[in-house]
């Protein structure tokens, strides 16, 4: 966390870990459930990995004013 020009604490985010616990995706078709699970898991990995590059802008510049 850093202080901005107004004296408020601003989060600086370069790493994120997304956990849904023991959540499971159910579907009648087992192949569709597998494809949907893999797509969601791949999306989570993409978000976690891209946070290093866009996390400062997304979380610090956009989320910071909301926290102020």
pLDDT along the chain (68 residues), means of 10: 73 79 81 90 89 76 67
Question: The dihedral of CA 25, 27, 30, 32: what is its sign?
Answer: negative
pLDDT of 31 reads 92
Query: Number of helices and strands (H, E) in the chain?
Result: 2, 2
Pair 63, 10: CB distance under 8 Å: no
Pair 22, 10: CB distance under 8 Å: no
Tell me the C-alpha distance between 32 and 68, whole Å: 43
Looking at the structure of the chain, the number of domains it has is 1
pLDDT of 65 reads 67
pTM for the whole thing? 0.63
Q: Which residue has the tokens 């966390």?
A: 1
Domain span including residue 32: 2-67
């Amino acid at each position: 966390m850093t202080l901005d020009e107004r004296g408020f604490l601003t989060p600086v985010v370069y790493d994120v870990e997304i956990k849904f616990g023991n959540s499971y995706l159910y579907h009648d078709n087992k192949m569709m459930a597998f494809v949907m699970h893999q797509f969601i898991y791949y999306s989570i990995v993409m978000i976690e990995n891209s946070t290093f590059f866009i996390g400062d802008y997304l979380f610090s510049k956009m989320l910071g004013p909301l926290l102020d």
